[in-house]
Amino acid sequence: MAGESMTGPVRGIVFDKDGTLIDFERSWTPVFVESAAALADGIGRPEMASVWLQVTGRDAATGKVLPDTLLASGTTDVVAARWKAISPELPGLDELVPWLDEFWERRVLELLSPVGDLVGLLDGLLAHGLRLGVATNDTERAAHATLGRLGIADRLHFVAGYDSGHGAKPEPGMILAFCAAMNLDPAEVAMVGDSPADLAAGRAAGCGRVVGVLTGTSPMEVLAPLADVVVEDVHAVWGALGG
């Protein structure tokens, strides 16, 4: 039987990817640092790497990515534009954006740190008859590559990235596209994510339930005011939905 949302039974779940299905700090933060260092060395200004990272969201003291920053939930083109604005000598965005996308995709796959047994989690949800999707501010290609490496690609009915034509979070386009593809009303869908952008997208789409998880960059105090419920990780989501 489907879990009960605030407005009725949950028939579909849309997951964010980074910080939700995979541990953000282990999988992404080192990659941001490496890419910035490579670019800064490439223009002969190694000192700029830390500047770009700090301006877009990495805390200089802790080394962690701060919640609700460009590095936490921004798309590649927005991060690239910010770095380019600081250092005009960087390559043009038509070169810089695909370079970053390729670098980040390759290295994240090498450092990939899933949040627990995702195969078991999704198999359990599918057994309840749920439709499952992923909406990420990463590229669609990187999303498919990551989901394939995690062994869960064939368990998902829908995958969209910021370049899939539905817009990027916090806009609701990817979630609404999932609803349309699955023939579901947004009130029948739960959005699960680790960032304010994820939760805002769920609200804007009219999702019946918006769930925060603590495996990304945002702590409880950031997510709690925005979510219907905040859980430790994705493995507690179904129980929180009443399943």
What tens-digit pLDDT sequence spans the chain (243 residues)? Answer: 344 444 579 999 999 999 999 999 999 999 999 999 999 999 999 999 999 999 999 999 999 999 999 999 999 999 999 999 999 999 999 999 999 999 999 999 999 999 999 999 999 999 999 999 999 999 999 999 999 999 999 999 999 999 999 999 999 999 999 999 999 999 999 999 999 999 999 999 999 999 999 999 999 999 999 999 999 999 999 999 987
Long-range contacts of residues 42-50, Cβ cutoff 8 Å, at least 24 apart: 43/87, 43/89, 43/90, 45/87, 45/89, 48/86, 48/87
> Six-digit token pair at 57?
């969201």
Which among 96, 85, 19, 98 is positioned nearest to 55, based on CA atoms? 85
Q: Other CB atoms closer than 10 Å to residue 57's CB: what's the count?
A: 21
Instruction: For residue 218, give every residue at least 6 positions away whose Cβ sits within 8 Å of its Cβ, in sequence order, or none.
Output: 19, 67, 68, 72, 194, 195, 196, 212
**What separation in angstroms does the CA of 20 have from each of 45, 62, 99, 110?**
34, 21, 25, 18
Q: Residues of CATH 3.40.50.1000 domain(s) within the chain? A: 12-23+114-240
pTM for the complete prediction? 0.92
> Six-digit token pair at 122?
């999704």
Which among 208, 202, 211 is positioned nearest to 238, based on CA atoms? 211
Which CATH number does 12-23+114-240 carry?
Answer: 3.40.50.1000
Instruction: For residue 114, give every residue at least 6 positions away whose Cβ sits within 8 Å of its Cβ, in sequence order, or none.
Output: 21, 22, 23, 150
